[in-house]
Amino acid sequence: MNRRLFITTAIASPLLVQDLLAVEKDIIVSREEWSTFVGLRKRLHRVKKVVGYGNFNIISFDRALYYAKHYAVIGAFPQKELDLADRLFYEDPKKYGFFGDRICDTITHSIAPKAVEKIPYTGHYLFKGKPMEDYFRLKKDIGDEIILTSGVRGVVKQMSLYVDKIYRCKGNISQASFSLAPPGYSYHSCSDFDVGKRGWGHKNFTAKFARTREFRQLRQLDYIDMRYTINNEEGVRYEPWHVKVI
Ligand SMILES: [Zn+2]
């Protein structure tokens, strides 16, 4: 990823100059923090194993702490891991080059089980109301080939995805935040969802999705929009699969 190139391009958009100046050079997890970071990543994976893939999408941080404390296979979060999780959640991501809006104010933000519904055969949830209506309407308009690939994501799920992404980016937080919103900054925590083409697997999360018939049809629909367009002001990569609920 060429973040610098992105920044140069972004100057042409109405981002505030002081915001751009606040972007530091790539921020990397320090050597001292690396083992804590890996510990946090693995513990979140163990929480997922215990609560199940579906539940993991919507559990709160407090629930994760509860399970960690009561299930020996997870093990309680040590203070160092909690401090790191706090930092990843509360830190201003502008310095990483991420300019999206904050969606959840506190790390303990929880999703009311009544507010969401599990979508059969997907392992994912959607918020009741407009998001769910949109999803079933777009399936009716486009056909059964279009599927839900990621729905509601609470703080824990977003934290886990973020930590995984940082890990794959070898500790480079700036690089990771280009392709994934930091926990607390994801619209998956309040409305949006991802769609893909049936049987396409990980290709659904690449620009290739934009070349599908399903994507072209998606763009024709006036009741939804695309959240992360090319060179968006949020500083997020192009995500043709991410549906913005309007
Ligand atoms: Zn998404």
DSSP 129-145: THHHHHHHHHHHHH-TT
Computed over its alpha carbons, how large is the radius of gyration of the chain?
18
Query: 122 alpha carbon to ligand 1 midpoint, in Å?
Result: 15
Task: Tell me what the mean pLDDT of segment 127-142 comes to.
Answer: 98
pLDDT value, residue 9 = 45
| CATH no., domain 3-245 | 3.30.1380.10
pLDDT of residue 25: 84
User: How far, in Å, is the centroid of ligand 1 from the Cα of 205?
Assistant: 9
Cα–Cα distance for residue pair 204/152, rounded to 1 Å: 18
Neighbours of 125 (CB within 10 A): 25
Q: How far is the CA of 153 from the centre of ligand 1 (A)?
A: 9
Residue range 183-210, pLDDT digits in tens? 999 999 999 999 999 999 999 999 999 9
Q: CA 170 to CA 16: how far, in whole Å?
A: 30
Above 60 in pLDDT, residue 6? no
pLDDT in tens, 117-131: 999 999 999 999 999
Q: How many A from CA of 128 to the centre of ligand 1?
A: 17
Query: How many angstroms separate the alpha carbon of residue 70 from the centre of ligand 1?
Result: 32
Which residue in the block uniquely carries the two structure tokens 């404390």?
Answer: 69
Instruction: Write down the pLDDT at residue 17.
Output: 60
Report helix, strand or coil for 228: strand
47 pLDDT above the threshold of 70? yes
Per-residue pLDDT for 69 more than 90?
yes
Residue 164 amino acid letter: D
**Dihedral sign for Cα atoms in the order 121, 122, 124, 129:** negative
Residue 228 token pair: 């992360």
SS3 at position 191? coil
Residue 167 has pLDDT above 50, yes or no: yes
Give 28's pLDDT tier (boundaries 50, 70, 90): very high
pLDDT band of residue 18 (cuts 50, 70, 90) is low
pLDDT of 96 over the 80 cut:
yes
For helices 213-220 and 130-142, angle between their N-to-C axes, nearest 10 degrees: 120
What is the rounded average pLDDT for all residues in the chain?
92
What pTM value is reported for the model? 0.90
- For residue 239, give the DSSP letter: E
The Cα–Cα gap between 136 and 170 comes to 38
For the record, the structure tokens of 181 come out as 């919103």
Is the model's pLDDT at 12 over the cut of 70? Answer: no
Q: Stretch 167-188: mean pLDDT, rounded?
A: 96
CA distance 99 to 172: 17
Kindly report the number of other CB atoms within 10 A of residue 221's CB atom: 14
